[in-house]
Structure 1
């Protein structure tokens, strides 16, 4: 099973972002992007990749302990950017330091549970919510104009109060545009 640890935005922030994305999808060149869907919008803290069944209970235990060591914090979706021509993302504002520490604990939980992380622990943590990806075929999309429109976006704020373990179910039908399905396997409140 494929897993990752994440912060899941509340419905109101998702709806506000969805309205912004609807406007982005009307821009020239939007048809050259693969847009992610609302059910997949999250802030990945740590990506674990394939996790053997026998390691899941220990990972859950370690993530629960990690969640209890962190206090709730304030954040909101703000602005955006892009990773070259590969991905368009929405950014985050608020207590980014608390989020960075939570991400570090989610990575450490995996190591302590015996996982060799498939994530990018060697890279600095960069919180983002992917909203579109460049298509692998045909003409490349230039994402800078989309990111420029996102600069002015700001969602309602919320208190991040839990750490989620999410299962990623990859598409199996082979149908064009099919997206992964995400299921929250477990969630633990931050703090005690």
Structure 2
């Protein structure tokens, strides 16, 4: 199964972001982008790819320990940016150091559970809102999101999510995400 560790913003934060993205979606040529589905908006902490089911018990245990060692932290959706000319995203502000540490712990948990992980890269908190397969200037869209400031919330859970890719190659089909594990952050959650 195709898995990743994640932080999911609460519904209120997603509604705020939805209003901002709706405005960007009305910009010239925005219909040429492939917009991600709102049910799938999340911050990926560690992408694991295909994971053998026999690794799941150890992975769950290790992710639980990673969550237990990580304290809750404040976060808010903030600004926008792009990776090259293919990915448009919304960023985060607040407890970024705590989020980076949680991402590192989730990645280490996966490695120790035997999940073959890609080469480690420095974590950059972002929530992908659109992609394109063509060479596209995404700066106007990122600039339109520059001043976006969402309300703060407290990150209190680490999630393990299964990504169910769409079948059949239907145009506009989006992956479906299914929570397969969830652990509260902090020592107090298990004491």
Q: Into which bin does the TM-score normalised by the smaller protein fall?
A: over 0.9
**SS of corresponding position for 2:103:** helix
Indicate the residue corresponding to 1:127 in structure 2. Answer: 125
Indicate the residue corresponding to 2:96 in structure 1. Answer: 96
**SS of corresponding position for 1:82:** strand
Q: Which residue of 176, 179, 182 corresponds with 2:177?
A: 182
**SS of corresponding position for 2:15:** helix
Following superposition, the deviation at residue 57 of structure 1 comes to 1.2
Indicate the residue corresponding to 1:59 in structure 2. Answer: 59
Q: Does 1:116 align with 2:153?
A: no
Indicate the residue corresponding to 1:85 in structure 2. Answer: 85
**SS of corresponding position for 2:104:** helix
**SS of corresponding position for 1:44:** strand
Please give the per-residue CA displacement for 1:70-125, whole angstroms capped at 9, x wherever unaligned. Answer: 0000000000100111100000000100000000000100111011114x51x210
Give 5+ residue unaligned stretches, structure 1.
none
Runs of 4+ in 1 over 2 A off after TM superposition: none
**SS of corresponding position for 1:153:** coil
**SS of corresponding position for 2:168:** coil
Q: How many residues align?
A: 187
**SS of corresponding position for 1:81:** strand
Whole-angstrom CA distance in 2 between matches of 1:167 and 1:117: 16
Following superposition, the deviation at residue 141 of structure 1 comes to 2.5
**SS of corresponding position for 1:186:** strand
Q: Would the aligned equivalents of 1:46 and 1:107 in 2 still touch at CA under 8 Å?
A: yes
Following superposition, the deviation at residue 135 of structure 1 comes to 3.0
Q: Give the TM-score of the pair, scaled to structure 2.
A: 0.96
Indicate the residue corresponding to 1:154 in structure 2. Answer: 149
Whole-angstrom CA distance in 2 between matches of 1:52 and 1:155: 37
Please give the per-residue CA displacement for 1:11-45, whole angstroms capped at 9, x wherever unaligned. Answer: 00000000011001100110110000111100000
Q: Would the aligned equivalents of 1:32 and 1:141 in 2 still touch at CA under 8 Å?
A: no
Indicate the residue corresponding to 1:4 in structure 2. Answer: 4
Q: Give the TM-score of the pair, scaled to structure 1.
A: 0.95
Whole-angstrom CA distance in 2 between matches of 1:16 and 1:156: 8
Q: Which residue of 136, 140, 143 corresponds with 2:138?
A: 143
Following superposition, the deviation at residue 128 of structure 1 comes to 0.2
**SS of corresponding position for 2:101:** helix
